[in-house]
Amino acid sequence: MNVTITRVLPFLLLVLGVYLWIGYAITELTGGGRKSSAAVDISPEGGEAIYWGKGRCFTCHSVGGQGSAVRGPNHGQFGEKFPLAMGARAVERAKERTEKEGMEFTAIDYTVESLASPGAYVVKGYKNEMAVVYAPPISLNLKEIKAVIAYLMTLGGDLDMAAIDTKPSEVTLGFYAKIAAAAEAGGGDPGLGAQVYEDNCTDCHTLNGEGGEVGPDLTGISAKGLKFISEAILQPAKALTKGFETYVAVDKEGRQTVGLKTRDEAGEVDITKANGDVVTIAKGELKEIKIDDTKSIMPDDLSEAMTVKDYQDILSFLMLQKPKPAE
Ligand code: HEC
Ligand code: HEC
């Protein structure tokens, strides 16, 4: 990872965490997600509201002189770099895609693809940094995505609602199916998530019989839900898993040991530290032992080591960890 990324990421992840939290808070306030998604209108106006709101497109894109973000291409007609607004530009990009893939791409197919598989065509001069908008924290559903596409098509292009909504092409249908399936599993790529898990988690957690035993067994963890899992990663201390509380033991010489209490017998206690080392302390030597519920043994800066994409990928990997059916 290069230096700018390591510097910017912690901040991004913090922002992401705040969005997640706000999203949940709002969902809770409005009585659940169903209500808010039902409110979306599959229309250019509905899409415009999402573009400048929930979809957070405006954090990276501008439309002509509207907005100031430059991380992604301008979606309007703007200067020499953007002679065509997105609706018309998509027609040109579709021709390139048709040639490269050897199958017919329409302007809508291209636009849907840029949301469903942003890495498939990376606009020249930009990095493959387009957000996965159907994954947390943005988490647009299919209806909202259709609305955004309708909005983009009105920017200099022809709007064909049927091709977006009721009679999509085969190519578009394929992308819609991918979005629907991926959204259900957290939006990331579970295959890549397995590697992120291997790199960051397996030393402490057991999954399907393999891995470390410092933290709880994560086999079947999807049963606890996406919200629970993402909070467990972003803010481990917020809800410590029962039986995995953080103990602080201070001996008579003032030496402090922090870890999980993994054995407590008449004469001594074992404290297992985050690195897996077990420290045995005779009770006679203990001055004090207490739970610190503001800290988890699970590091709270794990998300800093991951990109937003890694985080989305690992969430989808964990969401596929289904409980084993009872024998
Ligand atoms: C984190 C920044 C970011 C966010 C958020 C984001 N995008 Fe992008 N987007 C990019 C970047 C960077 C590119 C160019 C690289 C590429 O082609 O993947 C891009 C490319 C695109 C393109 C292709 C543009 C072209 O000229 O062909 C479309 C369409 C698009 N984004 C739509 C959206 C929509 C709609 C949203 C909101 C739902 C959104 N983006 C949110 C960064 C972002
Ligand atoms: C240094 C050891 C350590 C590492 C590394 C670690 N964890 Fe944990 N994890 C723990 C401990 C200890 C707990 C229990 C305390 C708590 O709830 O924070 C825990 C709790 C959890 C829980 C809640 C489980 C439940 O059933 O309540 C999840 C989910 C989780 N970790 C996921 C992860 C993921 C994903 C990674 C890698 C990105 C990871 N952990 C890395 C030690 C670790």
**128-166 pLDDT, tens per residue?**
888 888 877 788 989 999 999 999 999 999 999 999 999
DSSP alpha helices (H): ranges in the chain?
3-29, 33-38, 44-51, 86-101, 107-116, 142-154, 161-164, 170-184, 190-200, 226-234, 308-319
- Nearest atom in ligand 2 to the alpha carbon of residue 303 is 38
Answer yes or no: are the C-beta atoms of 172 and 163 closer than 8 Å: yes
The residues lining ligand 1, judged by C-beta closer than 6 Å to any ligand atom, are 51, 55-57, 59-61, 71-73, 86, 89, 93, 111, 114, 118, 121-123, 126-131, 133, 148, 152
Ligand 2: residue of 192, 205, 238 to mutate (most ligand atoms within 8 A of CB) is 205
What pLDDT was estimated at residue 326? 61
Query: Reading across the β-sheet that carries 268-272, which strands appear in turn?
Result: 278-282, 268-272, 256-264, 247-251, 286-291
What is the C-alpha to C-alpha distance for residues 200 and 184, in angstroms, rounded to an integer?
A: 23
The percent of residues in the chain predicted with pLDDT above 90, rounded, is 65
Q: How far apart, in whole angstroms, are the C-alpha atoms of residue 24 and residue 228?
A: 11
pTM exceeds 0.95, yes or no: no
pLDDT for res 28: 41
Neighbours of 106 (CB within 10 A): 19
Fold match between domain 40-184 and domain 190-239+302-319: yes
Q: In this structure, how many other beta carbons lie within 10 angstroms of the beta carbon of residue 316? A: 26
Nearest protein Cα to ligand 2, atom 11: 215
Q: Which residues fall within 8 angstroms of residue 170, CB to CB, at 6 or more apart? A: none
Residue that is written with structure tokens 């913090």 in the block? 14
Is the pLDDT at 26 greater than 50, yes or no? no
Gap between the Cα atoms of 104 and 9, Å rounded = 38
Question: Which residues does 195 contact at the CB level (< 8 Å), separation at least 6?
Answer: none
User: How far does the centroid of ligand 1 lie from the alpha carbon of residue 61, in Å?
Assistant: 7
pLDDT, residue 232, reads 93
Burial 229-257, CB ≥16 within 10 A → b, else e = bbbbbbbbeeebeeebbbbebbbeeeeeb
For the CA of 207, the nearest ligand: 2
Contact 185, 132 (CB under 8 A): no
What are the domain boundaries of the chain? 40-184, 190-239+302-319, 247-291
Please indicate whether residue 32 or residue 157 has the higher confidence score (pLDDT). Answer: 157
Confidence of residue 10 (pLDDT cuts 50, 70, 90): low
Nearest CA to ligand 2 atom 16: 240
Q: For domain 247-291, give its CATH number from 1.10.150, 1.20.120, 2.30.30, 1.25.40.
A: 2.30.30
CA angle centred on 324, ends 323 and 327, rounded to 5°: 140
Instruction: Give residue 241 CA to ligand 2 midpoint distance, Å.
Output: 9
Q: Residue 282 phi/psi, 5° resolution?
A: -70, 140
- Look at 38-42, 68-72, 188-192, 219-223 and tell me which has the smallest mean pLDDT: 38-42
Q: Going by C-beta distance under 8 Å and a sequence separation of 6 or more, which residues neighbour residue 242?
A: none
Q: Which CATH number fits domain 190-239+302-319: 3.40.1280.10, 1.10.760.10, 3.50.50.60, 3.40.50.620?
A: 1.10.760.10
User: What are 162-199's pLDDT values in tens digits?
Assistant: 999 999 999 999 999 878 877 777 777 888 899 999 99
Q: Which fold has domain 40-184?
A: Cytochrome Bc1 Complex; Chain D, domain 2 (1.10.760)
pLDDT tens, residue by residue, 243-290: 999 999 999 999 999 999 999 998 999 999 999 999 999 999 999 999
Among 322, 318, 323, CA closest to 194: 318
Q: Which residue has the tokens 């098509």?
A: 153
What pLDDT, on a 0 to 100 scale, did the predictor assign at position 35? 36
d(CA 165, CA 168): 6
Measured distance CA(64)–CA(156) in Å, rounded:
11
Whether residue 46 is predicted with pLDDT greater than 50 in this model: the reply is yes
CA dihedral sign of residues 170, 174, 176, 181:
positive
Cα 290 to Cα 265: distance, rounded to the nearest angstrom: 16
> What is the DSSP secondary structure assignment for residue 67, as one 8-state letter?
-
Q: Please give the number of the atom of ligand 1 that sits closest to the Cα of 121.
A: 17
pLDDT digits (tens, 9 = 90+) for 91-115: 999 999 999 999 999 999 999 999 9
